[in-house]
Structure 1
């Protein structure tokens, strides 16, 4: 379903849902910045408003589904009028949240906001993202509802496109992640191995065995050091109250850290104290900082998918440590075949080291960038078709 936008002669007003440029999750920041960059290729003067958890307008009470439903009935906050003030809504679903693996409540809340935007007369685009998996009947019902109401649906990998088709709504575009729309920093290669350790995987989680993950990253680090490689530890989900850059003083008082176990900083601090007390630790101050840091390395080993995508998009080879279905289809679609799947039974240290030391890493990056930019052109054309 395609809906034409009215040409009013006024700058486009675009609402981007579930991404922003101030999140402590730098992958979410990349999603926000990349979506904005993609939009500005088509509408350079567009005004963009982000709405996300922790970054919410008072008119949009998406803390609970009940609050949204109540506002839809009572209009006490002016939600529908506020939504109607936009020309276009791009629903990013945080890149990978269009699924029921994070719970039905999250899926329902995100879907309701998009549906209410459609009811306000605003075209809704499901931006480049992972679609699925949906493991429950209720999840599939909610997903089908969102898909059928969207003016344009974009998948960032072929598996997502198949999932959408299976729900009765073929996607309009198979593209790639919007991180490739962000301008590349130009910095000198002053670092060797950038190693991103994940707070999500460091603790008990539904994806991989945390003890096995801790053993893996420890053995990979020691193997790198034994080969004479210089390693920098990098956080990719941080805590706003402890944003610093540089090596942490592990002997002195530690900065306050978030109780959120998704935060990479406490995991990296713990790892450094146990295994790598002399290692450089980078806690980025923002998206441009993390991209510049990664661009200064020769290779990145990433437990976060967007740490790897930030690497590839700045021309640095990445060895992704995949913990979910979202990694492989997206990366394979770009022609990148250096992913190590952590969901297997082995710790896979040897596989990681073979990839890090492989001759093809550097030469393969050029092809990835070419394919990514060509793929994003299809997303541009889909957005342009709404004008």
Structure 2
């Protein structure tokens, strides 16, 4: 029997994270849980959470101990909801992160704590070891949800035939009515990840494209705001330094936006004409409040999810010769009143997907720990 106030661990998402995408995943998961268990006790952990026992360093202290730090933490919970940080269940960010995620999943399975992989990108896994780890993780999970059809098929190819398709957890967040209030024109999220050397795209090319895009918009008398979606911290790829560097280059011609919270960034996005960004959750946040977005894709996580939403306005930085030109052509040819109506219409489908996810989650039995 499921307890009325189950203890639930939400993995790889955090309401206090400087990455507003991880905050969206955390609060979206909380919204889903509250629809089924309004009195649930939720705990959030990422590898960077303060005093977390679920870190790469803890794996070595846990692996040969029957009561290691990770085992002691996981046995406290009735269920685990693993968000995969949205797109981290892959080896493209390195094997160390994947090994940590897989080890936590393995310990949960050993302790018989039900583990649900919440809607997320699954794969790709470019290494043989990565595919082996992923296959075992998918097999031992209680339930698996992909957030796009490509991830769904990928999970099935790895042997998890019962994978279900949903969509991103950002669409579970409450929406504030900003109808008729357009305070900003073009909001550009400048990605600190791509602004410096990275394994995804050529950073010099990305910098030139951002600068060319802003030049083109200003020449068209468009108002430009630069947005940080990963806030300032010791993490070197946060967006704030990149946003401020671009801001210094353009001076008073652009507005700088550094939000204080997930609520504040959603308010900024809701009152824009269009949002352009390489942080996918900046674009998903935008669409989830009914504002058109043009994602600048740097990996395979972008297009399948956007296409499954019925949103085909995106530019692939890996294959497009001139992202700034293509984006300006999109902006010049788009009636954004019509585009906003399209964005609002897609929310009907995402609302339904989130309701289905909550209902399915309620059907999954959770254990009852000693109280």
Say whether the fold is shared (TM-score over 0.5).
yes
Q: CA deviation at 1:303?
A: 1.4
8 Å contact from structure 1 (residues 161, 171) kept in 2? no
Distance 1:324 1:96 in 2: 10
1:340 corresponds to: 315
CA offset at residue 170 of structure 1?
2.1
* Preserved CA contact (<8 Å) 1:173 1:379: no
* Equivalent residue number for residue 227 of structure 2: 234
1:310 aligns with 2:304: no
Counterpart among 24, 31, 45 of residue 51 in structure 1: 45
Residues 233 and 268 in structure 1, CA contact (< 8 A), matched pair in contact too: yes
- Separation of aligned partners in 2, 1:368 and 1:102: 31
Matched with 1:152 is 143
Residues 222-274 of structure 1: per-residue CA shift (max 9 Å, x gap): 1111111111110001115xxxxxxxxxxxxxxxxx4x331111111111112
For the residues of structure 2 that align with 1:308 and 1:214, how far apart are their CA atoms?
A: 19
**SS of 2:272 mapped into structure 1:** coil
- Could you tell me how far apart the structure 2 residues matched to 1:76 and 1:103 are? 25
Superposed, 1:320-335 pairs within 5 Å as: 320-335=295-310
- Rounded to whole Å, the distance in 1 between the matches of 2:53 and 2:249 is 47
TM-score (norm. length: structure 1): 0.89
Matched, 1:7 2:2: yes
Long gaps (5+) in structure 1: 1-5, 241-257
Q: Deviations over 1:258-305 (max 9, x none)?
A: 4x3311111111111123444210111111111111112111111110
Q: In the alignment, is residue 263 of structure 1 matched against residue 238 of structure 2?
A: yes
Matched, 1:35 2:47: no
User: What are the ranges of 5 or more consecutive residues in structure 2 without an aligned counterpart?
Assistant: 366-371
SS at 1:89 equivalent = strand
Q: Bigger CA drift: 142-151 or 186-195?
A: 186-195
Give 1:75's match in structure 2, choosing from 67, 85, 88. 67
Worse-superposed segment, 358-367 or 216-225: 358-367
Per the normalisation by structure 2, the TM-score is: 0.92
Contact 2:46 2:52 in 1 (8 A): no
Identify the residue that residue 276 of structure 2 maps to in structure 1: 301
CA distance in 2, matches of 1:336, 1:274: 32
Deviation at 1:60, TM superposition (A): 4.2
Query: Partner of 1:246 in structure 2?
Result: none
Over the aligned positions, Cα root-mean-square deviation in angstroms equals 1.7
Match of 2:345 among 359, 367, 374: 367
Does structure 1 retain, via aligned residues, the 8 Å contact 2:287–2:343?
yes
* CA apart distance, 1:80: 2.9
Distance in 1 between residues matched to 2:57 and 2:267, nearest whole Å: 34
How far apart are 1:61 and its partner, in Å? 5.0
C-alpha change, 1:146 and 1:294, in structure 2 (3 Å) is same
Give the deviation of 1:103 after TM superposition: 1.1
Aligned residue among 351, 355, 359 for 2:326 = 351
* 1:338-359, Cα deviation, whole Å (9 max, x unpaired): 0111111512222201322412
Say how many residue pairs are matched: 360
Give me the whole-angstrom Cα distance separating, in 1, the residues matched to 2:128 and 2:27. 34
Quote the offset at 1:41 in angstroms: 1.3
What secondary structure does 1:300 align onto?
A: strand
Q: Deviations over 1:136-183 (max 9, x none)?
A: 110001001110000100000011011101111124310100000001
